[in-house]
Structure 1
Amino acid sequence: MLKPDLRVAIVLIDQFTLTPVAGFVDALRFAADRSFDSRQILCQWEWLSVTGEPVSASCGLPIAPTKRLDPDAEYDYVVLAGGLLSGVMNPEPALLDYIRRLHARKVPLVALCASYFTLGLAGILKGRRCAVHFTVQERFAALFPETQAVVDKSYIEDSGVFTCPGGSAFELAAEIIGRHCGKRRAQKSLEYLLVADEDIRRGTDNSVAHVYQDPLVHRALDYMRAHLDSHCTIRELALQVGSNERQLNRAFLANAGQPPAQFWRKLRLQEARKLLSDTSLHVTQIAYATGFSDASHFIQQFRKSYGETPHLFRKLRHNAERLQ
């Protein structure tokens, strides 16, 4: 039997947030099989709970574990799936003991969503940097003054402890997959989760990785994503989100490091890549569907961003799929 390259345990904490867990395990799922049948071949994962009973997510969905906690079981990573503070702040003593024993064995620990509070209660985060959500930064800092709370990172690794406060856990999963299964399998996961932009693989894509604290930027992003085929100007966009062009430009430069027009074009090109991969639409149709004035302009911008034409991108992608 083929030995997996990566073995992961996911510990479910009461009222865990579903999105980070789903993103993390879906990245594993796409990397685990040479085809797309979701077989646990190259990657394997187990669902754990303290009691062995089902654990409910914050949305009410119960998940049945496959095993109970076993500190002697062999895993490459143990992931804590947290969510509401009522769960992560009141862990079972058995869970804290489990975490401490894993840490003593130098098993890498991953905290999704607010489960970094549980790591802090276990005494694991002293002297470390920890990625936290900006909404709980003050509370976390008051409880764990010996830990450096960071709010502008999608995840942080510090001496074998990973903390990931938001919904972008697929990025962290891809990083771990790349280390154990190779960059190609990590890339496959990102591509089929439709987040395969090159900047994301380098961990620098502000459209996904950064937790924006400016509500104006949030409103603008929502409008951009809903109107990728629109030809409206940035001035018109600013009016739609209750601002003006100068204020909107300043907010994007401060939060995303680029003006809104450049950011919107990047979103359009990402959507175009998805359409090239997943549909048989003509290049001209894709150009119009993603807000470009004509096919020539679309091809020019695509080649400038990705180093190849839309036709070549589609051809190489389909060739690669046939070889799977």
Structure 2
Amino acid sequence: MHRIAVVIVPPVMSFDVSIPHMVFGDASGYEIGVCTAVPGRLDTVGGPQIHVPDGLGLVKGADTVIAVGSGGGDADPRTLEVLRTAHAEGARIASLCTGAFVLAQAGLLDGRDATTHWGLTGDLAARYPSVNVRPDVLYVEDDGVFTSAGAAAAIDLCLHLVRLDFGAAAANAAARLAVVAPVRPGGQAQFIETPLPPERGTSLAATRAWALARIDRPLTLKDLAAHASTSVRTLTRRFHAETGLSPLQWLLHRRVDRARELLETTDLPMDQVAERSGLGSADSLRKHLTTRAGLTPTAYRATFTRQR
């Protein structure tokens, strides 16, 4: 079992506390626990009190340690020391939303890329100038330390960690159980500057679902625009507004995700994996998977077959 310790640092939002349980609790292979410096009943921001029975000793021996809470003040020195020790002993360290402030206080983000909710990135940069704050991403990893933006992006990061541990099929299964979208790439923008005009419309969700059902076929911008009953130019603008990606970028991500699932769950030859995922050829599969996952198709299959 992969042990996860969630370290709560008040003040904290109750929703943020629930995210690790929502994702990892429904994914097989994890044992998850929650702790804080002073166990007992904790107030949450805008929510109910929660009861945290365990102290920081729960962190000892954890494979992943996730800091949740506090952009509102200094963390308990014991919490900072526990995080430093866990990192020094090789644990994977992550934070959800304002938890980045806690990691920064512990010195774990010095010289590293990091992010938090876009409304707080300026504050994080001002308080911790040694941190390379990225306001333009959903989540980011730098040498084993992961940080995420707020709310939905925190879910994205947790799903990304499931994918790193057990593969795309497991991450997609966890996403389905949580009734959220599949893993979004961490490099997407956090928010959309210009919302769609209300009078123009309906979402492109139906077109994306249509494309996913035909992921093994060649699809062009004209095909997508025709299904959406719009021009290519309007399709591209609206697609980027809704997903943070161009239509063809989004389609490529989905094709690679499909290829990863096929590599994990079937024994199909590489050319058939490429064909069924719409990547065309084994050479194209190798190129795009190596770019996205850092592994060749053969190495990827071997890695996640062993883990499964």
Shorter-chain TM-score bucket reads 0.5 to 0.7
What does the per-residue CA deviation read over 1:121-174, in whole Å, with 9 as the maximum and x for residues that have no partner?
Answer: 111111100022221222211221121111221111111111012213222222
Written as runs of structure 1 = structure 2, the 5 A alignment for 1:24-103 is 24-32=20-28, 42-70=29-57, 73-83=60-70, 85-86=71-72, 89-103=73-87
> What is the match of residue 256 of structure 1?
244
> What is the match of residue 138 of structure 2?
154
Instruction: Tell me, in whole angstroms, the C-alpha distance in 2 between the residues paired with 1:190 and 1:178.
Output: 11
State the shift of 1:189 in Å: 0.4
Q: Does 1:13 align with 2:1?
A: no
> What is the match of residue 129 of structure 1?
113
Q: Scaled by the length of structure 2, what TM-score is found? A: 0.62
What does the per-residue CA deviation read over 1:181-239, in whole Å, with 9 as the maximum and x for residues that have no partner?
Answer: 34332221012223354xx3xx3499xx531141535x769x746x98xxx9889xxxx
Written as runs of structure 1 = structure 2, the 5 A alignment for 1:92-241 is 92-167=76-151, 168-197=153-182, 200=183, 203-204=184-185, 210-217=189-196, 224=202
Q: Is the 8 A contact 1:49 1:55 kept in 2?
A: no
Task: Point out where structure 2 has 5 or more consecutive residues left out of the alignment.
Answer: 207-227, 251-276, 279-308
> Once structures 1 and 2 are overlaid, which stretch shifts more, 180-189 or 143-152?
180-189
> What is the match of residue 320 of structure 1?
none
Q: Runs ≥4 in structure 1, deviation > 4 angstroms? A: 232-235, 246-255
State the shift of 1:20 in Å: 3.8
SS in 2 for 1:214: coil
Task: Point out where structure 1 has 5 or more consecutive residues left out of the alignment.
Answer: 33-41, 236-245, 264-305, 308-324
Q: Is the 8 A contact 1:111 1:162 kept in 2?
A: yes
Counterpart code for 2:127: L
Q: Scaled by the length of structure 1, what TM-score is found? A: 0.60
Instruction: Tell me, in whole angstroms, the C-alpha distance in 1 between the residues paired with 2:145 and 2:96.
Output: 11
Identity score, percent: 23
Once superposed, what is the RMSD of the aligned Cα atoms? 3.7
